[in-house]
Amino acid sequence: MARKFSRASDEAHHRPDHSRPDQHRRARVEVEFDEQTVLGALFGQFDTNLVLIENRLGVYISARGNRVLIEGPDDPVARARDVLKGMHQRLLSGQELDGGAVESLIAMSSEPTLEGIISGMPGGPPAIMIRTRKKTIVPRSPTQIEYMKALISNDVIFALGPAGTGKTYVAVAQAVAQLMSGSVQRLILSRPAVEAGEKIGFLPGDMKEKVDPYLRPLYDALYDCMPPEQVERRIASGEIEIAPIAFMRGRTLADAFVILDEAQNTTPAQMKMFLTRFGQNSRMVVCGDPKQTDLPGGVGASGLNDAVQRLEGVEGIATVRFNIADVVRHPIVGRIVEAYEGKDA
């Protein structure tokens, strides 16, 4: 669907003067898109995607047909061009393009790696991705690029940072991809059964029913990467195991992709026990936010902080640190995290 004239003339008179870039540093770049069938999705309903880029980067964008004109300071104009190319590439490769995807491309546009991520092979998919049965996951923040590389090249990976940065989701996606390819035989997901700041008393039911509420985020990530019937079948066969960390004692986890979520709620003794379960042909990912510990008073230091201090720099072990800028869940989550961390700082 060819798109007609954008805001350049019919809405320019509604803009306050400060929305126009500094005339003394003005640059003009025109981008032409050959595949016009995706232009409606590229621009967004009522040009919402273009407006988002304008607001985030401080540029002025107008569109006529398959041509887009970007005006503003040199660097923001170059970033806006790369973001539009990245958006176009995502659509051509069959990926979704929502507000979160546009936000993530804008965030990555400040990194020198963006061009490689959005281009890949000419006309092909991005250079870094994780393919699962239900979807293809591509990096949505600069640190996710580093994280995806670490998941391929290291035996043990510590992923640290605030909520909404994709630490657990990307790890589960990589685990599912390796299970599907046969490079591992089992997928083991674990987390401490620690209440998040409140006492909920005794839970009814058998052991599985008691611990399932603590493990629900892991189930959610699995169902997003695999059809539900496959998840249930593989859980029943033992190919996928979801259990509290206490169930790991005494085991050797070989030929497995092992993920420990909410690791900040382990004690040093639990963390040592978990890490020493590592077996042949395995990969272990430890995810957590060191600033969100729910350990009860008197327990002592977090096992996650202790492990990172002891093991950082050890061969085969990588530490990836996410920050507020890497939040991809929703832009407001990043602002909430920033407000809380700023207050606590």
Predicted TM-score of the model (pTM): 0.67
Residue 223 CA neighbour count, 13 Å, CB half: 9
Q: What is the pLDDT of residue 203?
A: 53
Residue bearing tokens 């902080």? 305
Pick the CATH number of 7-119 from 3.40.1670.10, 3.40.640.10, 3.30.1370.10, 3.40.50.2300: 3.30.1370.10
Within 10 A of 100 (CB to CB), how many other CB atoms are there? 15
Query: What CATH fold (topology level) applies to the domain 130-344?
Result: Rossmann fold (3.40.50)
Per-residue pLDDT of the chain (345 residues; tens, 9 = 90+): 333 444 433 343 334 344 444 445 678 899 998 877 888 899 988 888 999 999 888 999 998 888 899 999 888 898 899 889 888 888 887 777 887 778 878 877 765 444 444 444 334 445 577 877 777 777 777 788 899 999 999 999 999 998 888 899 999 999 999 998 899 999 999 888 764 444 444 556 555 566 667 677 788 888 888 888 999 999 999 999 988 888 888 888 999 999 999 999 999 999 999 999 999 999 999 999 988 887 766 566 889 999 999 998 899 999 999 988 777 766 676 677 678 766 554
Report whether 265 contacts 293 (CB < 8 A).
yes
pLDDT at res. 247: 83
In the chain, domain spans: 7-119, 130-344
